[in-house]
Amino acid sequence: RKEVEQDPGPFNVPEGATVAFNCTYSNSASQSFFWYRQDCRKEPKLLMSVYSSGNEDGRFTAQLNRASQYISLLIRDSKLSDSATYLCVVNLMTTDSWGKLQFGAGTQVVVTP
């Protein structure tokens, strides 16, 4: 079983619509959670951290469910520029490798006019 699993998509979304997707993680000891965005052939860029209480950044809302070990991302009022691969990232924060980010394979989102 993979440590972080995501639906690869693609999620085809009309411009202006809402799209949401989840990722699940296997290690209940995971401490930090993030969503990264990756454009084709570019490096991942931090979209937002995910907190237990849930958090919002403009049109983006992230939720964490520790009991069920999943993280979600919701994008409202989708823009064409939101087309990208969204990577779910988990960090165990152990003392011997606190920088070891565990990535999902990504969920592709395609926003269409």
Binding site for other proteins (CB under 8 A): 4, 32, 41-46, 49, 87, 91, 93-94, 96-106
- Least distance to other proteins, CB of residue 84, Å: 14
**Closer of 16 and 51 to other proteins (Cβ):** 51
Which CB, 10 or 14, lies closer to other proteins? 10
Cβ 26 to other proteins, closest distance in Å?
14
By beta-carbon proximity to other proteins, the closer residue of 99 and 113 is 99
Q: What's the chain look like in SS3?
A: CCCEEECCCCEEEECCCCEEEEEEECCCCCCEEEEEEECCCCCCEEEEECCCCCEEECCEEEEEECCCCEEEEEECCCCHHHCEEEEEEEECCECCECCCEEECCCEEEEEEC
**Is the Cβ of residue 65 or residue 97 nearer to other proteins in the bound state?**
97
Provide long-range contacts, Cβ within 8 A and 24+ apart, for 94-97.
94/29
Q: How far is the CB of 16 from other proteins (least distance, A)?
A: 29
Q: What's the one-letter identity of residue 20?
A: A
Minimum CB distance to other proteins, residue 94 (Å): 8
